[in-house]
Amino acid sequence: MRCGNCGHNNESGSKFCEKCGQSLAKPKKEEFIPLPLPPKSPAKNKSLRYVLLALLVLALAGGAGFWYYNERAPKDNYEALIEQLEAIKQSADANAFYDLLAIDDRTDKTEHLAFWTKQDIASLATQSQAALDTLYNEGVAQKALANTPLEAKVVDGVYMLVPIATEITATTNVSPVTLVQKDQTITVTPNAAAVVGTYLPGEYSYSVTWDAPSGKVEEARTFTTADGMASASFLYYPTTLGGADGRAVTYKINEQPLAAEAIRNNELWLPKQQTATIQASFTEGGKTYTSSPVKVEEGVGYVEFNYPGYYNAADVEREVGYVVDAYLRAYEAGDVNGIGAVISSSSAFYTSQRNYLANLNRQGIDVSLLYYDIQSVQHVQGETYNVRVGESFSVKEPNKARKTVNQTVTYAITNYSGSYYITGYTLH
């Protein structure tokens, strides 16, 4: 009988296999006798060997790749850069040089290229080769180029030329100023530098807006990283606003209220080449006085305000005193044109005094002012005042002895929009 377990041929009638001891009895039809399962251990050991073999292959491949990357790739990258720079030395092509730089693709090439096109590209290519040679031969990680915002680097085994970023600040001489550069808005104030950002070498567009007293002034400008600064300053001209004399004066410019902070030390700063109309107001004795409009423009320097209907003895005495003094000094000097600055050209007194003084000059009569004294100032009407003055002159006519002339004169002086002029003359 053949054993179903090991295949040994046994004698007929045997109940058990002589070789393996397996029962040789035939199972009943209704019984299910499972076949013995193959042992698990050998299969498991075989799979483990496959896994270990695969890991070994991967390790060898990784080692070979690591050796190639670190030993071969850097050399290939270095040699390619040197070769490209050699060609750029001959062509001086700024575009080709820019394409070698390690710059984010999202960066606006136009802004950066504007910087590199102004450089000596052939010289930069030579310097770049020298810096890369230093990295390759001496094993250093980076080498900056002289006088250029650029450095050679080795990053993760790859040679590259990297532009150096510069921090840009902005300053201003007026306030407030708003600076806009792409998607950022910055407020710049005097005496404090504002950081605009960090920029790679290039030329960048921006705009500045000054909330000037006469209205907004906006200018488009450009800064370069070589400058390291974005200017937010404006050209302006200062005008001194006179006549406040301790009063709480408020102003309007172009019929709009003028902020108090726009005036510094009685000076108003306006943009160059702009004109404006200013009015001043103050309240005294429960009544408000508003000045006549005054035009302010570059070159004026100082404005005085005239308040119709307002009479202040101290103010008037000061102003008429200036006029009398200027007139007498011009008279003493024989300055025919000089008296025209203080006598109203529309008055008869203007013509008569010019003729009189010209006649004295022709006759060679010398007049010297000894002294004068303003005796009184009387308000007549509107903006006209009578000013009584005592005068003493030393007069020398040709071929005659010098003599002293004392006289009392009343001058009619009128205020025209803040400027006082002599309009009449009475000799007592």
Q: Counting every residue, how long is the chain?
A: 428
- List domains and CATH numbers for the chain: 73-163 (no CATH), 166-231 (2.60.40), 236-303 (no CATH), 313-427 (3.10.450.50)
pLDDT at 106: 58
- β strands within 145-224, DSSP E: 150-155, 158-163, 166-171, 177-181, 184-188, 194-199, 203-212, 215-224
**Do the Cβ atoms of 413 and 323 come closer than 8 Å?**
yes
d(C-alpha 370, C-alpha 366), whole Å: 13
Helix (H) or strand (E) holding 278: strand 276-284
Nearest to 326 by CA among 416, 411, 213: 411
Helix (H, G, I), strand (E, B) or coil at 188: strand
d(C-alpha 227, C-alpha 203), whole Å: 10
pLDDT at 24: 72
For 375, other C-beta atoms within 10 Å of its C-beta total 11
Bridge partners (DSSP) listed for residue 131? none
| Average pLDDT per block of 10 residues along the chain, 428 residues long | 71 70 59 42 50 50 40 66 95 94 77 90 96 93 93 93 94 93 93 92 95 93 92 94 84 92 88 93 90 91 85 84 94 90 90 92 94 93 91 94 96 88 92
pLDDT at 21: 63
Tokens (6 digits) for 224: 């370069």
pLDDT at 47: 53
pLDDT at 140: 92
176 prior amide bond cis, ω within 30: yes
**Do the Cβ atoms of 380 and 316 come closer than 8 Å?**
no
d(C-alpha 361, C-alpha 365), whole Å: 6
d(C-alpha 145, C-alpha 127), whole Å: 7
Long-range contacts of 397-405 (CB under 8 A, 24+ apart): 397/363, 397/364, 397/365, 398/363, 398/364, 398/365, 404/370
Phi-psi label, residue 38: left if phi above 0, alpha if psi -120 to 50, beta otherwise: beta
pLDDT at 74: 53
DSSP string covering 103-129: --TTS-HHHHHHHHTTS-HHHHHHHHH
Q: For 208, phi and psi rounded to 5 degrees? A: -130, 140
pLDDT at 10: 73
